[in-house]
Structure 1
């Protein structure tokens, strides 16, 4: 099987986990990566091209589109879609909660065979919009990049990503942590290179016991959905490193995560949260951390999602994928 992998590179600095997913998929499937930059709305010509018919499908070549949000799926209207074309085409939308951003190529057109989304519970809504088979491939992580760590962790609490107002000032949080005998570490250093960002995040996570992460409904931003809450890559990476995720978990955590992976604390009253965090830090042990890492390997690894995609698309799983899944399970 020959696979083309279309990745529309989004702007911003938070897409390192998806960049790693794209590179992992390319390695496992020996796929050709076609990368384009998301520069906003596609041209009128691209929009019009979505109304062209799907021509005869050559056998043996397939297309997987990994899209940061639904709107960028419009970028798949490229001459390769018709010449030589693809036997099957699948689209995997990461921020699939944006159901109001569906381009015309996804609305009843013949160019897509299967739609994958990351958000459980939205399958029916997406099917109603697209008339496509819809399944969930939830957020994940490349857990193989996190070595099992039995070492002591010097950082009690790590800030990762956006935070509600009460937790957004790292110096205020650092001072509060010190007053309660905890060592706090602010956000990892940032780079324009998403892969460097991911390496910085991994190093910070592997020296941390707990990670601060809150649902978007209690830590909103201009780029988050105002009413739908969802998991993101920071939960996956934190658990891949064996950290306990402290904050307010979104409802989706009930389906994707497990008991003992998160710790609920107040997003607005730090005075109520500190005793909970102190108790968790005092009771931390390496066995629990490694157990979380093993659970993440068993539940969250991207390879599991890719195997599910193969099954649903009728693609033969590549040997390297099955070998690495066997290694992960050991």
Structure 2
């Protein structure tokens, strides 16, 4: 398998860069990184209408991982792509931008399969592209970077986009200090995507609660104005045992992936009102809450479960992926055993 990563600029995508490197390792694939910012000439865009050649005899397959539908054109960056692969699939991260699927992708059948992050997007993708589409949601590296740490020194951590009332870390810190709450503001970013992901997971592992709000409760110029969805910080925090405090998105992912105790719904973006709820939750927090989050994250959120779906559709059985999935199963069984003993 060849994994092609249409890599966007910006530190916010480091979590996907980390996932891509993990997928390369566990799917035992080669990796080609191209820029998602590249623009294609009109001639290039016309060339994509040329059909794929019969490549049934080829043993090679391709998985394109791209930030948005527009980056599907990155398939043209691969040498001899029309006749090289027996199977081509794409995993679109921001799959909710269905209106941005290029016309050429809708009119051709260059891709054999699509993976999308929201289940609500599956039907739209299949209708517009006439291509089989599978729901493949957000995940986290629970096995290597997750934690059930019981000694957490931070009560509330802030990462990423927030409503205006929570945007000023200094003001939030000052307010938290009045109630003896230990608050962690924006963490220092690292240029190296792998280091950045490891460091942010370490911060989550020291935190009881992570502050996060749905894109409709906390909109931005880069979020979808109507469709709600979870993002990396939700699953990463839970993988490290932290509970997510804020307003959860109303979407299938929230219902399917998350569990009782994983969310602290503040029901408001008002900081003072929200802090009242958080203060009560911190006072009743126990290490068992972190252990429960970690346990369910192993079962539901690890990227390896997503990679297994990919491998099955590609009809491949990478040994390293199988070995690490067995490690996850063993951890789950051990936790179940410890619960029974307790």
Aligned runs of 1:119-130 on 2, under 5 Å? 119-130=118-129
Distance 2:92 2:184 in 1: 32
Match of 2:36 among 13, 35, 38: 38
1:59 and 1:86 in contact (8 A); partners too: yes
1:215 and 1:250 in contact (8 A); partners too: yes
Does the C-alpha gap of structure 1 residues 15 and 50 become closer, same or farther in structure 2, counting only changes over 3 Å? same
Deviation for aligned residue 1:221: 1.3
Q: Using the TM superposition, name which of 247-256 and 291-300 deviates more.
A: 247-256
2:148 and 2:291 in contact (8 A); partners too: yes
1:172 matched to 2:192? The reply is no
Q: Which 4+ stretches in 1 moved above 3 angstroms?
A: 81-84, 147-151
Distance 2:40 2:298 in 1: 38
Aligned runs of 1:47-62 on 2, under 5 Å? 47-57=45-55, 58-62=57-61
1:266 and 1:272 in contact (8 A); partners too: no
Q: What's the counterpart of residue 274 of structure 2?
A: 273
Structure 2 stretches of 5 or more lacking a match? 331-342
Distance 2:10 2:203 in 1: 20
Q: What's the counterpart of residue 260 of structure 2?
A: 259
Structure 1 stretches of 5 or more lacking a match? none
TM-score (ref. length: structure 2): 0.91
Does the C-alpha gap of structure 1 residues 79 and 172 become closer, same or farther in structure 2, counting only changes over 3 Å? closer
1:63 matched to 2:62? The reply is yes
Secondary structure at 1:235's aligned position in 2? helix
TM-score (ref. length: structure 1): 0.95
Residues 176-222 of structure 1, C-alpha deviations (whole Å, 9 max, x = no match): 11112211010110123222221221121111100000011111111
Q: What's the counterpart of residue 320 of structure 2?
A: 320
Q: Using the TM superposition, name which of 252-261 and 93-102 deviates more.
A: 252-261
Secondary structure at 1:116's aligned position in 2? strand
Q: What's the counterpart of residue 285 of structure 1?
A: 286
Report the RMSD for the aligned CA atoms in angstroms.
Answer: 1.5
Higher helix share: 2
Deviation for aligned residue 1:79: 5.0
Deviation for aligned residue 1:317: 2.1
Deviation for aligned residue 1:238: 0.3
Q: Using the TM superposition, name which of 99-108 and 15-24 deviates more.
A: 99-108
